[in-house]
């Protein structure tokens, strides 16, 4: 919902370090893969009962996620980079609730399952829309820096990270936060289904 306002600001912040990395010969894909490792580490730390350390790793993952795109724009964006970026992001988003489920199955597992189900809705509708939009030559001018058609909604990247961060800061609230955010993700999925149904009518 607010990514279109946040992303340009972050792009300006990432510019200087991205130029340094590009001049040093660091590939954008390497930054992406390094960030992915940090995201998996975050989920592992949460699973073993260290949510604050997990939050630090998750925030580092998010910094790498913004930095890889900035590096790609310096050295030349690629389809492989766009693919890795979105595919690995979705995995990390799902791994964090799974980490909470492992940390306390009795308290967290059902809420984590609900959130993962909702994430499947937002992820599948996002990617399906992007595929058809690309085939029809549609471009989302609100997100020109993205490698694929970036469909917005009520729960975008900024809102997701804010929710996951809140879970790490107050892990006792995980069930409430997970159920609440799952509901918002469901609304996002329903609106994306409706947009696709309307926009992609006909051949």
Across 66-70, 77-81, 119-123, 157-161, the highest mean pLDDT is recorded for 119-123
Question: Rounded CA gap, 52 and 57, in Å?
Answer: 9
Sequence-distant (6+) residues with CB within 8 A of 56 are 42
Question: Rounded CA gap, 48 and 101, in Å?
Answer: 11
Whether the pLDDT of residue 13 is over 80: the answer is no
Q: What's the pTM value of the predicted model, to 2 decimals? A: 0.87
More confident residue, 148 or 181: 181
Question: Rounded CA gap, 22 and 144, in Å?
Answer: 21
Which H or E run contains 55? helix 51-75
CATH fold of the domain at 3-199: 1.20.120
Q: Where are the domains of the chain?
A: 3-199
- How high is the mean pLDDT of the chain? 88
Interior CA angle at 173 toward 117 and 102, to 5°? 55
CA neighbours closer than 13 Å in the CB half-sphere of residue 18: 24
**pLDDT tier, 63 (very low <50, low <70, confident <90, very high otherwise):** very high
Give me the pLDDT at residue 98, please.
Answer: 98
């Amino acid at each position: 919902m607010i990514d279109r306002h946040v992303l340009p600001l972050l792009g300006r912040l990432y510019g200087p370090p991205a130029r340094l990395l590009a001049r040093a010969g660091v590939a954008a894909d390497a930054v992406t893969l390094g960030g992915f490792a940090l995201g998996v580490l975050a989920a592992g730390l949460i699973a073993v009962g260290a949510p604050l350390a997990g939050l630090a790793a998750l925030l580092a993952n998010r910094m790498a996620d913004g930095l890889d795109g900035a590096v790609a724009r310096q050295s030349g964006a690629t389809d492989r980079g766009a693919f890795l970026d979105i595919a690995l992001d979705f995995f990390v988003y799902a791994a964090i609730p799974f980490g909470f489920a492992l940390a306390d199955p009795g308290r967290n597992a059902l809420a984590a399952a609900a959130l993962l189900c909702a994430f499947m809705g937002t992820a599948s509708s996002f990617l399906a829309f992007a595929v058809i939009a690309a085939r029809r030559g549609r471009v989302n001018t609100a997100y020109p820096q993205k490698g694929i058609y970036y469909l917005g909604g009520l729960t975008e990247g900024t809102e997701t990270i804010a929710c996951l961060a809140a879970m790490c800061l107050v892990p006792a609230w995980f069930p409430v936060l997970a159920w609440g955010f799952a509901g918002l993700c469901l609304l996002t999925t329903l609106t994306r289904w409706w947009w696709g149904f309307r926009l992609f009518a006909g051949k």
